[in-house]
Structure 1
Amino acid sequence: MKHATQSDFGRGASFALSSVDKWEVLSALNTASADFDISHRTLTVLKALLTFLPDRDIPTEPGRAVVFPANRTLSERLNGMPESTLRRHLARLVQLGLVNRHDSPNRKRYARRVGQGVELAFGFDLSPLNGHADQIFLTAERATRRAERIRTLRDRIALARQQLIALNDSRFAALIENARLILRRKSSEQTLHKLTQEMEDTADQNTGNAIHQPELRTIQLSGPDNQNERHIQDSSESKFDSEEQTSDSQIPADKKNDDANLHIVLDICTEFQDYYPKPVTGWAELVTVAEKLSPMIGIDSPVFNEARVRMGAATAATSVLCILERLQDIRSPGAYLRKLTQKAQKGTFSCIPMLKALENKGKSENCQLTT
């Protein structure tokens, strides 16, 4: 039975007014493979056929894109795919209307040349890819947007699930378990949307905290010394190193100036520049960098998203950069950030001590280099 999102290729497709890049069409088909019910093995066979088309562009005229490799040649190009399997995938491409057979009287594939050009060719006609290009690109765009929505819904479910787990209430055990099972499966957008609404409504009603995206918070680095607390590093209760503050180690900052705070963070946290050397000019850019950087250092997207909700986007980004600075000392960055998020939820977290510790560590290392 055809999936609700699957699309058919119309047999009466009109050809594009200009040639179409064969690799762009193949990429779009990969993106929309589920919508067209095409397996990736079938697309691998299509890719092999495209390699026999000498030009990068698929011609606009029907019948001008015929390739004629023998099955043995195709099999070799597909790393020894059995011919029975190859014939099945070729038949699927023809059935979908992506490829047309142009058979010779004896069903062999060959070409008749006149001079330097091919006058007559028998084999597989790839020109339907040009005729269906508009539909393929449009479906691929829709598939990309759907995938983005699904990723967002999955993150929202994971965040709401963490909130319900934190309540430690047996009434929500079934809902929490259902969310876990659905997140492990490849669920439809409709299923995820319904569960998202149920999870968030339940979390809002029982925590009193609506799930939303807060404004960027100002990170004020100057503050009382009693904020210089030691932070939990990971689940084994290791610590983030902090040093005693002296009067000359206070970080100057204009409390009313977000840009000043941003410059201080960028001066102290420099490791991220190895990954993203482009200059950061605003908090929004820094948050984006932290979001992309988190999975690279072992922080799952739902963990970062929860930190962003609980701490504020700027504070969460700063925390990620601080973790990166001491990555060699932190065994579980994801667990560490979760602990900081829990402290933020209780109103007992500030990233000032981490920044001050990093500043002092940098000064100490510089002193050792100069002595």
Structure 2
Amino acid sequence: MRTVTTTPFGARPVTACLMENQARGRALAQISSVDKYQVLNAVGLIARDLGLSDRNIAVLQVLLSFHPDRDLKDGAAMVVFASNASLSERAHGMPESTLRRHLSSLVNAGLILRHDSPNGKRYARRGAGGQITRAFGFDLTPLLTRAPEILERANIEIARREQIKAMREEVSLMLRDASKLIEYALHSGLETNLDEVDDRTKLARQVLRRKLSYHQLREMRDQMATLINDIHARLGTQITTDPQVENTVDIQVKTETKTAELSGNPAQNERHYQKSDKDIPDKKAPDLGMVLTSCPDVTAYFDRPVRDWSDYLYAICSVAPMVGIDAQNWAKACQTMGPENAAATVAVLVQRISEIANPGAYFRTLAQKAGEGDFSPLPLLTALARKAA
């Protein structure tokens, strides 16, 4: 009766993890055979759960390439006894030190077993007919015995990825709806004060670029649903605190919407539209105390105390270049929206710097919208004040 090796060669000790992997690898196989590349692909899908990297999987693929058969079969020899030099060559010249580290990771993950010879070398003994009677190397048997578990976990991972893909698709569609509705409101001339929801939409677009979990995407979907409902509500009616003008405003918005729907020529509507007094950029300075309270982070860059707007403007002029606003765009913004509004906008950008990918470009966009009568920093200040409170 031949002895089956269970202990490692050299200084490597016997550990509880090693004993557990030996037991799992030698368990009775629930299936008689499995396609080795089907198992490899499944392992790749759950590699992170197994604590493996892409390079670990690449080394496992090299080991499988030395197994002569396509299938791993119960009762067949499944020990790969290729030398490190042969494995390294087939792994596109991977250094042997790196190769040994990846092989150890596969052993620790319980996907392969070591059958060490008395001298630690890998080799095979053959009988008179040339058949292999004993081999020392890496045993692929765990891939067969654990195949049902690996394949099941891979199917769960595939379903999870499809779920995430579908949820991301839904959020993307909702984000498109929000952007298009805001664009419609701006081009229709509706006074809906959508700057805040526009910022929320842009922030959502930035967040969606990241790799999000299903639960994060589901939470984002709920937020987008609330955002779209908010946009629809603002497009349908403008809620005011004065009950005497509420009905008048409601009728005015509905009339404008109806007119836009009846016309068959959008260009004609655009020619007939003229800016009213409400569309002229509001250059009235916001309350300095509100700016200081809503945007406290920017004051860390000031070199003197702020007593009035003159002090604040002097300080902001040195902060603007730090966030990518050059002198030309700063001067243009001061002209279109007023210097106090421009300074307040810079303070908002600094306060939200972690949420904005390109503050300089964003500032130019806001300045342009201000020139068209579509932007005021007041809603952003109000939102930050609520957040601070």
* Closer, same or farther: CA 164–58 of 1 in aligned 2, 3 Å: same
For the pair 1:109 / 2:85, whether they are aligned, the reply is no
For the pair 1:73 / 2:98, whether they are aligned, the reply is no
TM-score, structure 2 as length reference: 0.49
* Letter of the 1:87 counterpart: R
Q: Distance in 2 between matches of 1:31 and 1:10?
A: 24
For the pair 1:97 / 2:110, whether they are aligned, the reply is yes
Q: Distance in 2 between matches of 1:96 and 1:121?
A: 22
For the pair 1:159 / 2:170, whether they are aligned, the reply is no
SS at match of 2:121: coil
Q: CA deviation at 1:41?
A: 1.0
For the pair 1:193 / 2:218, whether they are aligned, the reply is yes
Q: Distance in 1 between matches of 2:156 and 2:132?
A: 39
Q: CA deviation at 1:205?
A: 4.5
**Superposed CA offset, 1:262-296 (max 9, x none):** xxxxxxxxxxxxxxxxxxxxxxxxxxxxxxxxxxx
Q: Distance in 1 between matches of 2:203 and 2:118?
A: 60
Q: Which residue of 2 aligns with 1:324?
A: none
Q: Which residue of 1 aligns with 2:386?
A: none
Q: Distance in 2 between matches of 1:9 and 1:157?
A: 43
For the pair 1:57 / 2:82, whether they are aligned, the reply is no
* Letter of the 2:219 counterpart: K
Aligned pairs (5 A) from 1:5-16: 12=24, 14-16=28-30
Q: Distance in 2 between matches of 1:24 and 1:16?
A: 16
* Closer, same or farther: CA 11–155 of 1 in aligned 2, 3 Å: farther
Q: Which residue of 1 aligns with 2:144?
A: 130
Q: Which residue of 1 aligns with 2:53?
A: 39
Q: Which residue of 1 aligns with 2:250?
A: none
Name stretches of at least 5 consecutive residues in structure 1 with no aligned partner.
Answer: 1-7, 209-228, 231-371
Q: CA deviation at 1:20?
A: 1.1
Aligned pairs (5 A) from 1:165-176: 165-168=179-182, 169-176=194-201
Contact 1:112 1:120 in 2 (8 A): yes
| CA RMSD of superposed structures (Å) | 2.7
Name stretches of at least 5 consecutive residues in structure 2 with no aligned partner.
Answer: 1-19, 183-193, 234-263, 266-389
* Letter of the 2:211 counterpart: K
Aligned residues: 204
For the pair 1:85 / 2:98, whether they are aligned, the reply is yes
Q: Distance in 2 between matches of 1:145 and 1:182?
A: 23
**Superposed CA offset, 1:57-107 (max 9, x none):** 11224x831010111100100110111111111000000000000000111
Q: CA deviation at 1:155?
A: 1.2
Contact 2:22 2:113 in 1 (8 A): no
* Closer, same or farther: CA 180–51 of 1 in aligned 2, 3 Å: same
* Closer, same or farther: CA 11–198 of 1 in aligned 2, 3 Å: farther
Higher-Rg member (1/2): 2
Q: Distance in 1 between matches of 2:232 and 2:23?
A: 55
* Closer, same or farther: CA 122–9 of 1 in aligned 2, 3 Å: closer
Using the aligned pairs only, state the percent identity. Answer: 41
SS at match of 1:35: coil
* Closer, same or farther: CA 184–9 of 1 in aligned 2, 3 Å: farther
Q: CA deviation at 1:14?
A: 4.3
**Superposed CA offset, 1:144-180 (max 9, x none):** 1111111111111111112222343222245323422
* Letter of the 2:62 counterpart: A
SS at match of 1:20: strand
Aligned pairs (5 A) from 1:300-315: none
Contact 1:66 1:122 in 2 (8 A): yes
SS at match of 2:126: strand
* Closer, same or farther: CA 10–68 of 1 in aligned 2, 3 Å: closer
SS at match of 1:33: coil
Q: CA deviation at 1:10?
A: 10
SS at match of 2:49: helix
